[in-house]
Amino acid sequence: MKIRIGARRSDLARVQAMHVRDCLLTAHPHLGVEFLFKKSLGDINLHDPLWKMPEKGVFTQDLTKDLVNGECDLVVHSWKDLPTELAEQTEVVATTQRADPRDLILIKKEWLDQPSAELKVFSSSPRRAFNLDPFLKEFLPSKPKHVEFLDIRGNVPTRVQKLIESKDASALVVAKAALDRLVTRSEIEFEKTKKQLLESFKSLNFIVVPLRENPNAAAQGALAIEIRKNDQRMRDLLMEIHCEKTFSDVQEERKILKYHGGGCHQKIGVSVRSTPSGVWIRCCGKTEAGVLLNDEFFESFRPLPKVSVDKVWSAEGISFFKREEISVQWPKQLDALWVAKADALPVTYTEPRHRLLWTAGLDSWKKLVDRGFFVNGCSESFGEDQDDPLSFIGRPIVWTKLSHVDGAISKDKEFLATYKLENLTLRYEDFQGFELFYWKSFSQFKRSLECFPELKTKLHACGLGHTARLIEEETEVAPLAFPTKELFLKALV
């Protein structure tokens, strides 16, 4: 059996089409695959900013016509390029596992070394400009007072090269998934592009932008596999490689975007992320009618107990431990630091230039920025096991996790204790009259249980990741796991 896959002619589009081919050949080893690569209107017109071009199908319409006319059997699109209204004769029936949906900011190291009050950023996306303006002013250690966004066109390697050569712009925003895919392909035809990108990165640093601050364009990082309607042969073939989780998340993102007016020219980002405990939804931006959007929800897979908010205990105002500094023996080869809490990075630590620095959550990021550190990204309180790899760097990364002496050990990180916790006396009355307990850390839970064993039988909630896993091991009952206490309380109301 032979099939023909259609896609755009850019390096990234060909990489994505080859990824789908590889998945198909793994599931169907005897399948014959050919490609139809061609330029779209968006590839031909490289002069107009995207927001000035037609709203619908600028990168996809021509390929869809080829599909309808029978010149190919399926088309692989970057799903975010598809209009919210599809052609009547075709349908998207499958997708592969989603790549990292976040945006990546590439920043010149020379600007970071000598920052100014103004930062000029290449990006033609209204969504990125709207959400990243306040982000860059708060999450860079220099905290620039003015951020200007400059239009840019071209494929991803071209845009990176334009940044390197620009005497005006100091930063560029791209989809992280695009760089991850380009750098990790091994075909000889992409070797020149890969080499060019990796060489460019030597003069750049980066930020992986948190989805809470800058939700992705609807469907960013996902591939849409489009076929002719009623083509049961293709539908059956693709079901073997289909990722239902990605499909469901992306359909919900597109549904939310359509509700607010639809279209990639909108200043709207929307993220839907399935976790083992539930689905996180974030929508942020501004509609064409001028309505500001700033919504965040977490829909738990488990039913929530009927508990009023005033009966939920939290650790605010309670001192569990006294922090005690310990002597730290830093490894000679220290590649990248993953910081569990901001104060896990000792005040005596001097950051070597441009070493990778990651935090567990946004609060720690902000605290380290206030101390003058440049932070590359964070786990957004989803748990470190949910982090997507930094594949675009093009080399393995050795992470060293900084925490306290009894902190949770990670399966993929070296562990380095930078302080220890000395137990303080807890008051019995601080735990009375509550029906459910929300824990910020397993250390707090464990210390409380040592003092008041009866807490083991109570209802518990906590953040995602190691805290949830360790509480379940201790109580033999899975706690209600939410990304933040605020989202948990919102869900209870």
**pLDDT score of 60:** 78
Report yes or no: 131 and 213 within 8 Å, Cβ to Cβ. yes
Q: Encode pLDDT of 171-187 as tens digits.
A: 999 999 999 999 999 99
Question: What is 321-423's CATH topology?
Answer: Rossmann fold (3.40.50)
**pLDDT score of 234:** 97
Beta strand 74-78 with 2-8 is: parallel
Cα distance between residue 44 and residue 3, in whole Å:
27
**Of 210, 248, 228, 236, which Cα lies nearest the Cα of 101?**
210
Residues for the chain: how many in total?
493
What is the share, in percent, of the chain residues with pLDDT greater than 90? 85
Tokens 């601080």 belong to which residue?
430
**pLDDT score of 351:** 74
Q: What are phi and psi for residue 440, nearest 5 degrees?
A: -85, -25
Element (H, E) at 67: helix 61-68
**pLDDT score of 432:** 95
Cα distance between residue 277 and residue 263, in whole Å:
31
The winner for highest mean pLDDT among 44-58, 319-333, 342-356 is 319-333
Mean of all residue pLDDT scores within the chain: 93
Cα distance between residue 386 and residue 120, in whole Å:
32
Cα distance between residue 207 and residue 196, in whole Å:
20
Confidence of residue 369 (pLDDT cuts 50, 70, 90): very high
Residues 6+ apart with CB under 8 A from 71: 4, 6, 36
Least-confidence region, from 135-144, 180-189, 350-359, 363-372: 350-359
Res. 56: pLDDT tops 90: no
Q: Encode pLDDT of 68-113 as tens digits.
A: 999 999 999 999 999 877 788 999 999 999 999 999 999 999 999 9
Residue 442's identity, in one-letter code, is F
**pLDDT score of 90:** 95
Mean pLDDT on 374-379: 96
Q: Encode pLDDT of 406-416 as tens digits.
A: 999 998 999 99
Res. 304: pLDDT tops 50: yes
Confidence of residue 61 (pLDDT cuts 50, 70, 90): confident
- Same topology between domain 103-208 and domain 321-423: no
Mean pLDDT on 348-364: 88
Confidence of residue 491 (pLDDT cuts 50, 70, 90): very high
**pLDDT score of 52:** 47
Least-confidence region, from 258-272, 303-317, 432-446: 258-272
Least-confidence region, from 42-46, 115-119, 229-233, 306-310: 42-46
Q: Encode pLDDT of 432-490 as tens digits.
A: 999 999 999 999 999 999 999 999 999 999 999 899 999 999 998 999 999 999 999 99
Res. 233: pLDDT tops 60: yes
DSSP state letters, 254-301 = HHHHHHTT--TTSEEEEEEEE-SSEEEEEEEEE-TT--EEEEEEEEES
Beta strand 321-325 with 414-423 is: antiparallel
Res. 223: pLDDT tops 80: yes
Res. 190: pLDDT tops 60: yes
**pLDDT score of 286:** 95
**pLDDT score of 40:** 61
Cα distance between residue 432 and residue 96, in whole Å:
50
Question: What is 103-208's CATH topology?
Answer: D-Maltodextrin-Binding Protein; domain 2 (3.40.190)
Res. 263: pLDDT tops 90: no
Res. 49: pLDDT tops 70: no
Report yes or no: 259 and 293 within 8 Å, Cβ to Cβ. no
**Of 439, 470, 336, which Cα lies nearest the Cα of 390?**
336
- So where are the chain's domains? 103-208, 302-318+424-492, 321-423
